[in-house]
A and B are shown apart, each in its own frame.
Chain A
Amino acid sequence: MSIPADLKYTPSHEWVRVETDGTLTVGITHHAQDLLGDMVFVENPAVGRTLAKGEECAVVESVKAASDVYAPVAGEVVATNGDVESSPEAINQDAYAAWMFKLKPADAGAVGELLDAAAYQKLVESEAH
């Protein structure tokens, strides 16, 4: 599956979309769900929680294993996706549609430090070897 060019990525396999109002939508990548397998549980951070960059803030669990999800940048949680909590398999079906939470970044420029699609592609390829 191709890596969407319009998103940003982290080395810990989160994807980030910058919305027109400046908020960031966060999910886990197709590669991440492929490694984990069938998803059975998603726990999102509470709305209103303030996160530091890289802070463990959510959990996804497949039948096989639990995996932490990290805040891609510092910010405040402004929304969470209840649909993926009740249907975690949505992440397997389309990881880039099944968003987990939205952040209001503390610094609007911070997203610039994240990986672009080409850099993330390289990272995925290097991990495959």
Chain B
Amino acid sequence: MLKTTPLNATHRELGAKMVDFGGWDMPVNYGSQIEEHHAVRSGCGLFDVSHMLPLDIRGDNVRGFLRRLVANNVDKLQVSGKALYSCMLNEAGGVIDDLIIYFMDESWFRLVVNAGTADKDLAWMEKMNAEWGTKLTLTPRRDLAMVAIQGPKAAEVLNHALPGVDAITSTLKPFNAAAMGEMFVARTGYTGEDGFEVMILAKAAPMFWRALMEAGGRPIGLGARDTLRLEAGMNLYGQDMDETTSPLESGLAWTVDLKAERDFVGRRALEASEVTKQLVGLVLLDKGVLRSHQKVHTKNGDGEITSGTFSPTMQQSIALARIPLGIAPGETVEVEIRDKKLTAKVVKYPFVRNGKILI
């Protein structure tokens, strides 16, 4: 039996093609994935991301708990509403999950974790909570739906759909959030465009979705979500990194804070490890489509594509690949696609931000 979000019936009414996405019955597209992709880059797209789990951590010294739990430093969060992207590591320095942490006040932080890892994450956090005797309350918020409103017209659409929200959207800076009763509005996303992620009580979600559509938002499936995030150079958990890979070899060194004296889980393993690989962007120069697990041949040894697709914005194939160190942007590599070896150029990603091609 697949799990469903509070918007499941809405997706079906809209004629979405539904797929089993890690045990969730989710829309992969509502017609054309490529049209949906362009709609987000040029207008405003709506994503049901209710399969992801908001998780409230409350109690005394939540900050102290998170200092030890995650690889990025929550001391960067000093203003209420500020968000931080981080990995949560295991003792070996592998990535248990990547997540967003919102600091609301010293006794309340909200985390948003991936759908496929939610149970595992919660169990891990409860285990640490018990081990460290921190006595915090961890509350999974399955009573909330989450809708991402993304694109250059996102603020306009959200303001139309939700009278009064402009008091928040007009002042909310990127990577910040504000709570309004049970509603939670964050200026975050997974597309490389301006946009918001709004958490709202599950029962109110279908009406909210319809209001967003009437205001000009277009429903976008998980298919376009993947091409958008890849163009934006954002990692996908389970593909670009997992429990067996180091964040330092996954393009996530910028999220690992080794400056502060802070004993977080996985730190010792990371500091003892030798980094030999890097995550780079690839642009395919020949015709074809890069896909995950394709082998990459470089002058310094072999690597592998972790995520690959056809970029609707660039009209060519792009990928993230984990390859040996010492291969610089501008150099070419060979990718094995079926029985052929095709040429790809190493590039610095993101590929696309705010509707513009950066490569």
Contacts and interface: CB of A to CB of B under 8 A. Distances in A.
Contacts of A37: 28-29, 32-33, 223
A37 B287 CA distance: 19
A40 B310 contact: yes
12 contacts: A37-B28, A37-B33, A37-B223, A38-B32, A38-B33, A41-B287, A41-B289, A43-B288, A63-B34, A63-B223, A64-B28, A64-B33
Interface in B307-346: 309-310, 312, 338
B287 A63 contact: no
Q: Which 4 A-B pairs have the closest CB atoms?
A: A40-B310, A38-B34, A61-B289, A38-B33
A46 interface: no
Given A37-B223, A38-B33, A59-B338, A66 B291 contact: yes
Contacts of A92: 32
Contact of B33 (A41, A43, A61, A63): A63
Contacts of B32: 37-38, 92
Interface of A: 37-38, 40-41, 43, 59, 61, 63-64, 66, 92
Given A37-B33, A38-B32, A38-B34, A64 B223 contact: yes
B150 interface: no
Contacts of B227: 63
Contacts of A63: 33-34, 223, 227, 309-310, 312
Among A37, A38, A41, residue most surrounded by chain B Cβ atoms (within 10 Å): A38
Taking chain A's interface residues, is the majority helix, strand, or loop, or is none over half, making it mixed?
A: strand
A61 B29 contact: no
Contacts of B223: 37, 63-64
B311 to A, nearest CB: 9
A40 B289 contact: yes
Nearest to B337: A66
Nearest to A35: B17
A43 B289 CA distance: 11
Contacts of A43: 287-288
Contacts of B289: 40-41, 61, 66
Given A38-B34, A61-B288, 20 more contacts: A37-B28, A37-B32, A37-B33, A37-B223, A38-B32, A40-B289, A40-B310, A41-B287, A41-B288, A41-B289, A43-B288, A59-B338, A61-B310, A63-B33, A63-B34, A63-B223, A63-B227, A63-B312, A64-B33, A92-B32
A37 B223 CA distance: 10
Interface in B34-62: 34
B225 to A, nearest CB: 12
